[in-house]
């Protein structure tokens, strides 16, 4: 009793899982190949070391230290960005208006105080006059009194005339006035405000407003504030007013005027960033020398070498590894996507996927190895040519594209190599499509080499190349194509045997009558051999008519009855006399002997190492059809026998080619026994036999349609009619008598 398989082991046997594992393994291996090939030579270096050979940049690399210095220089050259604040201008003008309004109020207060002082002085003078008149009326002399009175009137008038505002407006008053001013003024400035002529003060206000407005609209930065104030005082100094008012105007203007060009940090940084972005980076181009021989290594150079992975350390060039990994992933992902959408049979076959993966990895390794000799001497076309022979041209084409891209990256992004690999591979695929001889592959290699030759010349001519400079690399490219053909021919048997794949070339070899098993069939079972040849002719024509693999059908027909070698004389076509050994056997035993020739054929096929692709024809060419002759014989003796006991073990045909061989085998045997065959009788019999197979369900498991069956019937009829064509009846002539008659005459 078999032990049940655990679910986890069933999962490992899942073909989708196996395909994913193969895909991941392929990605890792190819990525490893690419990184090993592209990674630069490493050195043990320190600052100050002097090297004997110059070091080139394996790829473009930026000198970050020098670039940073250039960026800082570019940023430093950008002037600061200032923003004109209109609000400051409006506030300054408003403060000026408010100041002059306050001056008018101050003048009004001073004027009121002055008038009050005059009124008080007048009242005091009148009181003094009354006192003097009283004294005269008390007996004093008139003349002196009049003189004194006259003097008193003059004093009063003199006081009124000489009364000055400055005598009236004391410090206390000015202190009170200063509390209401928006701009603090000195006592001297307040005196000027009070004593100034109204017309001059209005002129000062009007002109000062204009001066302040013009200066602020031009913009004032903090560092230019003193220059702006000087300009304002100079403008005020030119006004047609008193010097005192000029000083007052300068003081007021200097107080209200302020920087209105404010530093814009955000805009400044944006401009600096823009300048830095436009600044030229310091970059070592691929192939440019970073360090010259005989020169000491600087700290800056050492950092660049570390970034390139040229200095030995434990660090990994993350950006480089990530870049290669992304490209390899994209190439393999698109290739896998193509398989999943358009090559589903291949995608579901882990064996096919493993073979494709192995071929791609091998071609990449060989391309890198041969590029060390010469970059153009690479067998890039090998992958496409191999897969065209082993599987199909359409699949080979997509793999060839993928390999061309990978080789282009592998050889340091050489576009010319990629184009050469692509074009040469496509030509090889075209020529090697369905080869019948191995020298076809060599011819395909020559064709690929010729296309390589032209591709290199074309790419060089697009540059500055001349025929003289281009000829040598073009010849190397031609050699790469020939190398592809040689490697394809040399390794093809390995792929066929390891991956159990039968190619057109292998089929041609198997169809050779000198194959040991076919030679033995001819010698030991000549009737079966002749039958197999006729079946092969029928099968090949029918397969070609419906677009099936005609070569596979022919070879399958050659080998389908090799099991009869075990007991050849138990089969009618090999019996030379009327003695039939089955007449002495039980029908069931005879059925066993007859039906066992399929399994016997498998044993013989394994013995002679016939490919597994042919095994299906041996097992399936009878499907599960019954051996009716022995069934009827058995039924005569026992009515209880079952038809199922007289059937072949199968399986039923799984492919169109196996079904065609089944029908060809039946038709050839049946038509051979047809009395007086005519085209009409032949076609009627063929269609009857095919219909019986169809109704018995023998075609249920193969991809063959009713339309295909109709086409096959017509093809069989045409071929069989040609084989059994009507021959003319030759007259019976005595050649000796004819010669004697001729001599007599």
Domains of the chain, start order = 10-75+281-310 (3.90.105), 84-262 (no CATH), 320-500 (1.10.1760.20), 507-723 (1.10.3210)
SS (H, E, C) 396-451: HHHHHHHHHHHHHHHCCCCHHHHHHHHHHHHHHHHHHCCCCCCHHHHHHHHHHHHH
pLDDT (0 to 100) of residue 130: 59
Residue ranges of the alpha helices (H) in 52-85? 64-76
Tokens of residue 161, six digits = 């005339």
Residues paired with 261 in a beta bridge = 84
> Element (H or E) spanning 376, and its range?
none
Report yes or no on whether pTM surpasses 0.85: no
pLDDT (0 to 100) of residue 263: 82
- Per-residue b or e along 388-407, where b marks 16 or more CB atoms closer than 10 Å to that residue's CB: bbbbbbebbbbbbbbbbbbb
> Element (H or E) spanning 290, and its range?
strand 289-291
Do 635 and 627 touch, CB atoms closer than 8 A?
Answer: no
Distance of CA 155 to the CA centre of its chain: 112
Do 568 and 528 touch, CB atoms closer than 8 A?
Answer: yes
User: Which sign, positive or negative, has the C-alpha torsion 634, 635, 638, 640?
Assistant: positive
> Element (H or E) spanning 556, and its range?
helix 550-559
pLDDT (0 to 100) of residue 134: 58
CB atoms within 10 A of CB 539: 38
3-state secondary structure of 343: coil
In angstroms, the Cα distances linking 720 to 235, 259, 355, 717 are 124, 112, 42, 5
Tokens of residue 743, six digits = 């001599």
Do 537 and 661 touch, CB atoms closer than 8 A?
Answer: no
User: Which sign, positive or negative, has the C-alpha torsion 402, 403, 408, 411?
Assistant: positive
Q: Which residues of the chain are under the pLDDT cut of 50?
A: 1-6, 139-162, 727-730, 733, 745
Q: What span, in angstroms and rounded, lies between the C-alpha atoms of 542 and 661?
A: 9
Q: Which residues contact 655 (CB under 8 A, 6 or more apart)?
A: 616, 702, 703
């Amino acid at each position: 009793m078999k032990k049940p398989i655990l679910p986890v082991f069933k999962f490992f046997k899942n073909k989708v899982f196996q395909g994913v594992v193969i895909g991941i393994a392929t990605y890792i291996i190819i990525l490893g190949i690419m990184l090993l090939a592209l990674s630069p030579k490493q050195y043990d270096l320190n600052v100050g070391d002097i090297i004997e050979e110059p070091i080139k940049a394996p790829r473009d690399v930026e000198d970050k230290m020098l670039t940073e210095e250039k960026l800082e220089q570019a940023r430093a050259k950008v002037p600061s960005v200032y923003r004109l604040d209109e609000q400051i201008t409006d506030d300054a003008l408003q403060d000026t208006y408010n100041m002059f309004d306050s001056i008018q109020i101050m003048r009004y207060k001073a004027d009121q105080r002055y008038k009050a002082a005059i009124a008080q002085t007048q009242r005091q003078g009148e009181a003094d006059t009354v006192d003097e008149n009283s004294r005269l009326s008390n007996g004093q002399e008139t003349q002196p009194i009049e003189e004194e009175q006259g003097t008193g009137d003059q004093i009063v008038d003199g006081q009124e005339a000489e009364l000055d505002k400055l005598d009236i407006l004391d410090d206390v008053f000015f202190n009170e006035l200063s509390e209401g001013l928006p701009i603090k003024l000195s006592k001297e400035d307040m005196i000027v405000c009070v004593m100034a002529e109204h017309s001059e003060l209005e002129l000062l206000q009007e002109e000062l407003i204009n001066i302040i407005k013009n200066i602020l609209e031009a913009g004032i930065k903090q560092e230019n504030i003193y220059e702006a104030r000087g300009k304002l005082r100079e403008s005020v100094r030119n006004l047609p007013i008193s010097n005192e008012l000029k000083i007052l105007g300068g003081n007021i203007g200097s107080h209200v005027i302020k920087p209105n060009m404010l530093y814009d940090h955000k805009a400044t940084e944006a401009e600096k960033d823009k300048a830095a972005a436009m600044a030229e980076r310091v970059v070592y181009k691929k192939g440019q020398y970073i360090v010259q021989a005989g020169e000491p290594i600087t700290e800056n150079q050492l950092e660049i070498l570390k970034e390139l992975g040229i200095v030995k350390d434990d660090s990994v060039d993350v950006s480089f590894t990530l870049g290669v990994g992304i490209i390899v992933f994209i190439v393999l992902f698109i290739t896998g996507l193509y398989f999943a959408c358009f090559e589903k049979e291949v995608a579901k076959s882990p064996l096919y996927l493993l073979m494709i993966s192995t071929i791609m990895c091998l071609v990449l390794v060989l391309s890198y190895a041969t590029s060390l000799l010469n970059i153009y001497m690479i067998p890039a076309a090998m992958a496409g040519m191999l897969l065209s022979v082993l599987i199909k041209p359409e699949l080979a084409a997509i793999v060839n594209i993928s390999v061309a891209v990978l080789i282009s990256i592998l050889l340091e992004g050489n576009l010319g190599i990629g184009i050469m690999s692509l074009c040469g591979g496509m030509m090889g695929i075209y020529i090697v499509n369905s080869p019948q001889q191995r020298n076809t592959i060599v011819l395909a290699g020559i064709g690929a080499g010729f296309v390589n030759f032209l591709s290199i010349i074309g790419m060089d001519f697009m540059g500055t190349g001349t025929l003289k400079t281009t000829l040598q690399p073009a010849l190397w490219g031609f050699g790469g194509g020939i190398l592809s053909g040689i490697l394809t021919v040399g390794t093809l048997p390995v792929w066929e045997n390891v991956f159990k794949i039968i190619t057109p070339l292998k089929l041609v070899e198997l169809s050779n009558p000198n194959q040991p098993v076919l030679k033995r069939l001819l010698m030991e079972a000549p009737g079966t051999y002749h039958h197999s040849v006729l079946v092969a002719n029928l099968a090949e024509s029918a397969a070609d008519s419906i677009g099936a693999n005609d070569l596979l059908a022919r070879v399958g027909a050659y080998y389908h009855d090799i099991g009869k070698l075990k007991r050849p004389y138990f089969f009618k076509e090999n019996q030379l006399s009327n003695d039939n050994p089955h007449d002495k056997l039980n029908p069931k035993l005879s059925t066993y002997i007859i039906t066992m020739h399929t399994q016997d054929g498998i044993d013989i096929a394994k013995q002679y190492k016939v490919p597994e692709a042919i095994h299906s024809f041996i097992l399936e060419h009878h499907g599960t059809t019954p051996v009716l002759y022995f069934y009827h014989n058995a039924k005569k003796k026992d009515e209880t026998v079952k038809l199922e006991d007289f059937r072949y073990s199968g399986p039923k045909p799984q492919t169109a080619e196996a079904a065609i061989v089944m029908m060809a085998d039946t038709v050839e045997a049946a038509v051979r026994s047809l009395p007086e065959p005519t085209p009409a009788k032949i076609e009627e019999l063929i269609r009857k036999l095919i219909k019986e197979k169809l109704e018995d369900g023998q075609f249920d498991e193969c991809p063959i349609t009713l339309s295909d069956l109709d086409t096959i019937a017509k093809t069989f009829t045409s071929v069989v009619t040609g084989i059994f064509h009507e021959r003319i009846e030759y007259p019976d002539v005595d050649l000796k008598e004819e010669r004697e008659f001729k001599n007599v005459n």
